[in-house]
C-alpha cells in the first residue's frame, strides 16, 4: 500500500506542516487538496492518516486523525544489511532503491580497490531521498538507513560491532569463484538474528581484499553459474535472503550447520 513517509512527528495538537519537496509531491504530483486524507507512516513504522487542512502559501497543514503504533510481526525477521562496494556512475542509485523496496535495514557503501569515482556528502543525501521515495512507493515499514561512503577497514569494524551486538549474525560475501560449497540455506539457520550481505563493485574484490573478509568470518557464496552485474547481484542476493527468512519456518536446514 502506498503511503507517505513522515520525517518528523506532529506537534502536541496532532498538527503537521510539510514544505518544499514534500508539499510538491503531495499537492502537485498526487494532486491532493484541502479536505483530502492520505496514509502516512513515521520512521519507526507507526501508521497514521492525515487530513489536509490547508495548502496555502506552499505549506501543507495536516491533522493526524489516528495513529497506530507499529505492530511487530509474531516472528520478526532478522535485519538485513547490504555492504556494497561502490560501483560506477548512477548504479548505486538503483541499488539503494531496490534495497529500500526490499526492506533492507542498512546500506553501507564502501570504497574498494576496483571502485571508481569520488562520492561526496551530497550523494548520501540523494540516496536518502531515493530510499524514502522507494519506501513510499512500495509501502515498506522498514526504515532503510544509508551510511555515507566509507573505507573497507571501516566496513570490517562495522561487522565487528555487529558480532558483538548480536548472538548469531551471519556474514555472506558473494564471489564469482567457487570458494565454498555453502548455500543461502546453509548460512541462514533459524537461530540467525542479523544478516550482512557483501557485494563487490564491477570487477569484484581484489586478491588482497577478499582474504580480509574471509578472515573476519564472512562465508563466500557463488550464485549459480553466471557472473552477475553488481546491481543485479545486490538485488538477487537481498531478495534471496529475505525470501528464505520469510519462509524459514517451512524448511529444515541441514543437520550440518555451515553457519556455526
pLDDT in tens, 32-75: 999 999 999 886 778 889 999 999 999 999 999 876 665 555 55
Same domain, 101 and 139: yes
Domain presence at residue 161: yes
Alpha-carbon distance of 203 to 190, in angstroms, equals 33
pLDDT in tens, 123-133: 999 999 999 88
Domain presence at residue 14: yes
In which band, very low, low, confident or very high, does the pLDDT at 260 lie, cut at 50, 70 and 90?
Answer: very low
Q: Nearest-CA neighbor of 23 among 32, 15, 10? A: 32
| Residues belonging to the chain | 260
Q: Nearest-CA neighbor of 246 among 77, 7, 14? A: 77
**Which domain-ending residue is among 27, 44, 68?**
68
Same domain, 107 and 145: yes
Using an 8 Å Cβ cutoff, are 231 and 91 in contact? yes
**CATH code of 25's domain:** 2.40.240.20
Cβ neighbours of 28 (radius 10 Å): 10
Same domain, 41 and 111: no
Take residue 61 and report the three cell numbers written for it.
497543514
What is residue 87's predicted lDDT score, i.e. its pLDDT?
Answer: 94
pLDDT above 70 covers a percentage of the chain that reads: 88
What is residue 258's predicted lDDT score, i.e. its pLDDT?
Answer: 45
pLDDT in tens, 12-27: 888 999 999 899 989 9
Domain presence at residue 104: yes
Domain presence at residue 255: no
Indicate the burial class of 126 (C-beta count within 10 angstroms; 0-12, 13-18, 19 or more).
Answer: middle
| Residues paired with 199 in a beta bridge | 84
Cβ neighbours of 56 (radius 10 Å): 9
Same domain, 52 and 158: no
Mean pLDDT of the chain: 87
Same domain, 133 and 245: yes
Domain presence at residue 131: yes
Domain presence at residue 225: yes
Same domain, 61 and 117: no
What is residue 66's predicted lDDT score, i.e. its pLDDT?
Answer: 77
What is residue 236's predicted lDDT score, i.e. its pLDDT?
Answer: 93
Task: Kindly state the average pLDDT of the residues 206-216.
Answer: 94
State the residue range of the domain holding 133. 80-250
Strand boundaries in the chain, DSSP class E: 4-5, 15-18, 37-41, 47-54, 60-68, 80-85, 106-110, 145-146, 169-174, 194-199, 219-221
Same domain, 86 and 111: yes
Task: Kindly state the average pLDDT of the residues 116-145.
Answer: 86
Same domain, 180 and 242: yes
Same domain, 44 and 167: no
DSSP category for residue 149: P
Domain presence at residue 75: no
Angle at 101 between CA 155 and CA 258, to 5 degrees: 50
For residues 126 and 139, the model is more confident at: 126
Task: Kindly state the average pLDDT of the residues 151-174.
Answer: 95
- β-pairing, 37-41 vs 4-5, is parallel
Task: Kindly state the average pLDDT of the residues 178-204.
Answer: 85
Same domain, 15 and 144: no
* pLDDT reading at 171 higher than 90: yes
Domain presence at residue 48: yes
The winner for highest mean pLDDT among 5-9, 71-75, 92-96 is: 92-96
SS3 content of the chain, % helix, strand, coil (to 5): 35, 20, 45
Alpha-carbon distance of 184 to 170, in angstroms, equals 10
Same domain, 162 and 246: yes
Same domain, 93 and 116: yes
What is residue 77's predicted lDDT score, i.e. its pLDDT?
Answer: 86
| Number of structural domains found in the chain | 2
Cβ neighbours of 167 (radius 10 Å): 9
Amino acid at each position: 500500500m502506498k503511503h507517505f513517509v513522515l520525517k518528523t512527528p506532529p506537534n502536541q495538537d496532532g498538527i503537521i506542516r510539510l514544505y518544499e519537496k514534500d508539499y510538491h509531491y503531495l499537492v502537485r504530483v498526487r494532486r491532493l487538496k484541502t479536505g483530502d486524507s492520505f496514509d502516512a507512516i513515521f520512521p519507526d513504522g507507526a501508521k497514521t492518516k492525515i487530513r489536509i487542512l490547508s495548502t496555502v502559501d506552499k505549506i501543507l497543514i495536516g491533522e493526524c486523525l489516528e495513529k497506530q503504533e507499529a505492530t511487530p510481526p509474531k516472528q520478526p525477521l532478522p535485519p538485513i544489511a547490504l555492504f556494497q562496494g561502490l560501483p560506477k556512475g548512477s548504479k548505486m542509485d538503483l541499488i539503494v532503491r531496490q534495497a529500500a523496496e526490499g526492506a533492507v535495514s542498512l546500506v553501507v557503501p564502501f570504497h574498494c580497490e576496483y571502485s571508481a569515482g569520488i562520492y561526496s556528502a551530497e550523494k548520501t543525501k540523494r540516496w536518502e531521498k531515493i530510499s524514502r521515495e522507494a519506501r513510499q512507493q512500495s509501502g515498506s515499514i522498514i526504515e532503510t538507513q544509508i551510511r555515507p561512503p566509507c573505507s573497507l577497514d571501516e566496513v570490517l569494524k562495522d561487522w565487528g560491532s555487529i558480532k558483538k551486538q548480536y548472538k548469531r549474525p551471519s556474514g555472506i560475501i558473494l564471489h564469482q569463484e567457487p570458494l565454498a560449497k555453502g548455500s543461502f540455506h546453509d548460512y541462514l539457520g533459524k537461530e540467525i538474528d542479523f544478516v550482512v550481505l557483501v557485494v563487490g563493485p564491477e570487477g569484484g574484490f581484489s586478491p588482497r581484499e577478499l582474504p580480509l573478509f574471509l578472515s573476519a568470518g564472512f562465508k563466500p557464496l557463488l550464485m549459480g553459474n553466471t557472473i552477475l552485474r553488481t546491481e543485479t547481484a545486490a538485488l538477487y542476493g537481498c531478495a534471496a535472503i529475505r525470501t528464505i527468512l520469510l519462509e524459514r519456518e517451512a524448511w529444515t536446514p541441514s543437520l550440518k550447520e555451515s553457519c556455526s
